[in-house]
Copies of this chain bind each other. A is one copy, B any other.
Amino acid sequence: MKADLIKQSTDLFVEKGFSATSIQDIVDTLGVTKGSFYYHFKSKEALLMDIHLRYIDDLLKRQKAILDTEQTHRGKLVKVVELLIHDIETQGALGRVYYREIRHLTPENAALIKAKRGEFRENIEKIMEAGIKAGEFRENLQPKMITFAILGVTNWSYQWFNPEGVLSVADLADMYTDFILNGIVASEK
């Protein structure tokens, strides 16, 4: 039941946004009552926090697995990009909630989530730094800014990509790792 509530509310938050989704909307889709909702969640914000925590903790765990497994910096980066893009398929557009609605968490909760987001981002920065040092990546890159650029490429996909369209998630991941690694300019031979 709690799981159902999380599932339904996430879908509704994706579709209509957190503020525009009422508790009534959520419980109506499940045919239960508001009282039931408040038995499982202290507040609407608590539900949002729950969603955020599950998402980022899961992301961090899988990121860690990649860092521990992959050998090259390039391999690590590619796998992390794939991780983010594949999530569009497995998690629905949950990422949209994750980035859009953090403002509706209490300051304390928002701070916690932001710290975990920062951790995820810093892990990518570290890949960049190490890759530059090792000569795998270009020298004149600023790791922090390039990390934001890479996250932009992946996260923006949540806004528009339809995994059931003509292009598969795997195709998109390939295309984007290629773009990130090589840019768009034709090499002069």
Q: Which residues from chain A sit less than 8 Å from chain B, CB to CB?
A: 15-20, 74, 99-100, 103-104, 128, 131, 135-139, 141-142, 145-146, 148-149, 151-157, 159-161, 167, 172, 175-176, 179-187
Contacts and interface: CB of A to CB of B under 8 A. Distances in A.
A11 B103 CA distance: 14
Which of A19, A142, A153, A179: most chain B CB closer than 10 A? A179
The A interface is mostly helix, strand or loop, or mixed, namely helix
A182 B186 CA distance: 9
Given A145-B175, A184-B141, A20 B152 contact: no
Contact of A74 (B160, B167, B179, B185): B185
B151 A156 contact: yes
A18 B186 CA distance: 43
27 contacts: A17-B17, A17-B104, A20-B103, A20-B104, A99-B159, A100-B100, A136-B186, A137-B184, A137-B185, A138-B186, A141-B184, A142-B175, A146-B179, A148-B156, A149-B156, A149-B175, A149-B176, A151-B156, A152-B154, A152-B157, A153-B153, A153-B156, A179-B183, A180-B184, A181-B183, A182-B185, A183-B184
A172 B153 CA distance: 16
The 7 closest A-B pairs by CB, nearest first: A152-B156, A19-B19, A183-B183, A182-B183, A152-B152, A152-B153, A181-B185
Given A100-B100, A180-B183, A148 B135 contact: no
A181 B148 CA distance: 16
Contacts of A175: 142, 145-146, 149
